[in-house]
Structure 1
Amino acid sequence: MAAQESARDRATTMALALVVWGLAGAVFGAIFVAVQQVLIAFHFTGWQPLIVGTCIAAMTTSALYSAMTVALVGAGAGVLASIGYLVGAGQQVELPMLAGLTVGMGVISGALFKLGPHHNARALGVTLTGLLAGTSAGLAMAILLSLSPQPIAPAVIAAGIVALVGTLFEFNQAWLIDMSRGRLATLFGAPLVAGLTAAVVGISVWIMVGSGANLDLPTKERILSFVNDVPAGLMGGLIGGLVSALLLKALGCRIEDYADI
């Protein structure tokens, strides 16, 4: 009976890990493709859209995965700030103003929300882990794409980046979280992370609502066309998250230990 319960517990833990990592990968893939395509629409070229998109997606997803409370505080502040701005601005939706307002509201909300020093430091630590993993994975993928003789589909790129980021995140988060326990991290961790997630919300709102304002028609069309690539990024990220979860569990990693669920 004990052996059966142990096997059942392991199966439940494995299933939960696959669900969480699959969802995290899907979110990562969607954010990555969206940010990358928007940067391309604004004439960023070469490695810049790939690496910047990977870093933003990695930092945001890391916060949602391992510091969900802080991330949700920032996301909620971003939604409220965006609604208030849209009500007041009408048709004149300016990205710098919207982004600045959402960041400010996120920072204030993160500072006012009493999470305690541990949560503040953890939020900063996991976000820095996401930055490190995203930068490394983005550079690796940029090199791979430059060496590939054929174009690689967005879904495959998203799957590969998610798998790389997930693996690097798992192997680096412990020491980065331990390093992020100083006074500055405990004071500013939650405000900075909440500001980041609020900014992502604000940019998303601008893409959906205000990207046509004060932009030339070709740029507007390029921004709106990225919607066609988001499902591919989402599916690729889902597959990458599942693959990395299976690989890490096979290596004996307790990937569920750092999930804030």
Structure 2
Amino acid sequence: MLDKLSRILGKSIVWAFSGALFGGFFAGMLNFLLIEDIAPWLALILASTLSGMVISAFFGSMLVALGGSLTGILTAISYQILFADFHQPLLLLGIALVLGFVAGSFFTKREIRDSQPLAQTGTGLMAGLVSGPILYFIVSSSSLLDNHWPVSAIAVSLVGLCYVYFIKHSLTLLSSPMALKLGGPLVCGVIAVAVASVFWIIGESYLTVPELGQISRYQGVLDATPLGLLGGVIGGAFGGAMLEILGIRMEQHIS
């Protein structure tokens, strides 16, 4: 009994960390989309899908994800230094995507074969797409859209459970020679774009209009992120505990 409880606690802690990453990214992305006047149903689906893609890449293909993250960070910082007065986010994201492709091409075949980044990211995409409509139904039925931490907690649990279901199938479907060849550049590029967009939003959030004394409208994105982290921790811990209680082992699929 004690051994079972220790395994449940251990898996809850591991999934809580992954959930924190997901929850923070999800809450920030959701609020950004809502600020841009995207319909709530579409914003929830896009946020869950994008978050699922990014976090599953970190969860299953850490090396490729770190390469994309470093590329995105360096691109965003360099862009803000060199083009401080030229705020064109699409140009920044385009540069990050291209540089991510280039950086991803340097990974060896063995590294790509071992981590299978395209399969991991594709699984996150499918999990987010499937979870999005369910999440919208739950949120719209309970008026939780403005409560960031419970929405993030529910999203983490839904996407995580769908990820568990899809992972063993996607690893087979997305492990062809072509997928392995494109996996490194494609996933590295996607992660670079995601990270660069986060840095751009952070920069925009702290911009002010001196003559009007206004704070950027993107400040709400930063305000929502801590609550998203909290919700992600709760949802991730719950999902990890349920996996252990149900006896589901993911290690055989993520390696």
Under a length normalisation based on structure 2, what TM-score does the superposition of the two structures give?
A: 0.89
3-state SS of paired residue (1:181) = coil
Deviates more, 1:138-147 or 1:53-62: 138-147
> How much does 1:79 deviate?
1.3
1:71-90 alignment runs, 5 A limit:
71-90=65-84
Q: Could you say which residue in structure 2 is the equivalent of 1:143?
A: 137
User: Paired residue for 2:220?
Assistant: 225
Q: Which runs of 5+ in 2 are unaligned?
A: none
> C-alpha displacement at 1:52, in angstroms?
0.5
**1:87-236 alignment runs, 5 A limit:** 87-116=81-110, 118-119=112-113, 122-148=116-142, 153-210=147-204, 212=207, 221-236=216-231
Name the SS of the counterpart of 2:125 in structure 1. Answer: helix
Match of residue 248 from structure 2? 253
Q: Which residue pairs with 1:238 in the alignment?
A: 233
- Secondary structure of the 2:79 match is helix
Runs of 4+ off more than 6 Å: 7-12
- Aligned pair count reads 252
Gapped runs of 5+ residues in structure 1?
1-6
Map of 1:3 onto structure 2? none
Deviation at residue 46 of structure 1 after TM alignment: 2.7
Per-residue deviation, 1:183:
2.2
CA distance in 1, matches of 2:208, 2:73: 20
Aligned position for 1:31: 25
Let me know the Cα RMSD of the aligned residues: 2.7
Q: CA deviation at 1:104?
A: 1.1
Tell me: CA distance 1:74–1:113, structure 2 relative to 1, closer, same or farther (3 Å). same
Distance of aligned partners of 1:149 and 1:160 in 2 relative to their CA distance in 1, 3 Å threshold: closer
Deviation string 1:186-206 (CA, Å, 9 cap, x unpaired) is: 111111111111111110111
Q: Which moved more, 1:225-234 or 1:51-60?
A: 225-234
8 Å contact from structure 1 (residues 121, 189) kept in 2: no
**Helix, strand or coil at the partner of 2:100:** helix
Structure 1 residues 245, 83: CA separation in 2 closer, same or farther (over 3 Å shift)? same
Q: Distance in 2 between matches of 1:10 and 1:150?
A: 34
Query: Contact 2:12–2:239 (CA<8 Å) still a contact in 1?
Result: no
Structure 2 counterpart of 1:223, one-letter code: Y
Q: In structure 2, do the counterparts of structure 1 residues 115 and 79 end up closer, same or farther at CA, with 3 Å as the change threshold?
A: farther
1:48 aligns with 2:42: yes
Cα pair distance change 1:25/1:118, threshold 3 Å: same
Q: Helix, strand or coil for the counterpart of 1:112?
A: coil
Distance between the aligned counterparts of 1:200 and 1:120, measured in 2? Answer: 23
1:8-23 map, 5 Å: 14-23=8-17
Instruction: Choose 10-19 or 64-73, whichever is displaced more.
Output: 10-19
Q: CA deviation at 1:34?
A: 0.6
Aligned pair in 2 of structure 1 residues 259, 51: CA closer, same or farther (>3 Å)?
A: same
Deviation at 1:207, TM superposition (A): 0.7
